[in-house]
Amino acid sequence: MFLINGQPGESISANNRGLHYGDGAFETIAIHNQAPLCWEDHYLRLNYGCERLGMACPPSELLLGEASRLLTDKERCVLKIIVTRGEGGRGYRAKQGVEPCRILGRYPWPDYPVQYATDGVRIRICRTRLVRNPALAGIKHLNRLEQVIARNEWQDDSIAEGLMLDSHDKLIEGTMSNLFLIKGQKLLTPELTECGIEGIIRKNVLNLAGNIGLDAVVCEISKDELNTADEVFLCNSIIGIWPVRHIEKREFAPGIYTEKVRQQLLKKNIILV
């Protein structure tokens, strides 16, 4: 089910700049008992993304009100909010005074195996690289072709995710997730000032690291550091925390600290699984 500018529907104008140029931003939000988890964090990132793109973001109250119309009687589902610059003619220059287009969609909760969160997942390294572009780094803009190409590199259902490096061969993130490594008492995650998405769960993991005795470090991480990590895990708002149990030739046992992170997030109602 979709709402387009507050009205039920499943189509937008062929002149929409989101369709022509990927001119917009989006959020994917976990819904529990008809309420969005981490709403403030999601809205702040959406607003920041729109600001970075030079377009107006719909008010929080408006989006929440429209979301409530989609979420009646839904105990658990996924809400996607897309904001595009709106309609425009051919050419990259945007018309002034154009009203942004907002699209809200409700999706079923994905049926990932429960053991992904407890026993871990198999992942791979993608060939496709993320291009460094500080102007777009961190925000969840609509241009996701790098991730689309990377995700279509494999069709093996036993591999749950693929890691992406940037054009300088530094680890950045998964195709749909953020990445963490644990080495001793250090919790490492890639620097995202050049590319990548600053995930909502990533932000919360960094904030709670000290509660479980870990020193959070944001830094450049090379592919080789996967071989010396004690634990590796992935996260996003829908999957929660997935421990990594196998990558290329390296096997990992379920990690104590990874499970502590997951339990902290569950306790604070930040993730559902």
**Looking at the annotation, which residues are catalytic?**
28, 140, 173
Q: Label residue 97 exposed, middle or buried (CB < 10 Å: 0-12, 13-18, 19+).
A: exposed
Q: Find, among 215, 162, 163, the residue nearest to 186 by Cα.
A: 215
**Amino acid residing at 13:** S
What are the Cα distances from residue 98, in Å, to 8, 55, 84, 165? 21, 9, 10, 37
Phi and psi at 165, nearest 5°, equal -100, 165
* Dist. CA 159–CA 122, nearest whole Å: 5
One DSSP character per residue, 24-85 reads EEEEEEEEETTEETTHHHHHHHHHHHHHHTT-PPPPHHHHHHHHHHH-TT-SEEEEEEEEE-
* Dist. CA 172–CA 125, nearest whole Å: 11
- Cβ within 8 Å of residue 250, ≥6 positions away: 226, 227
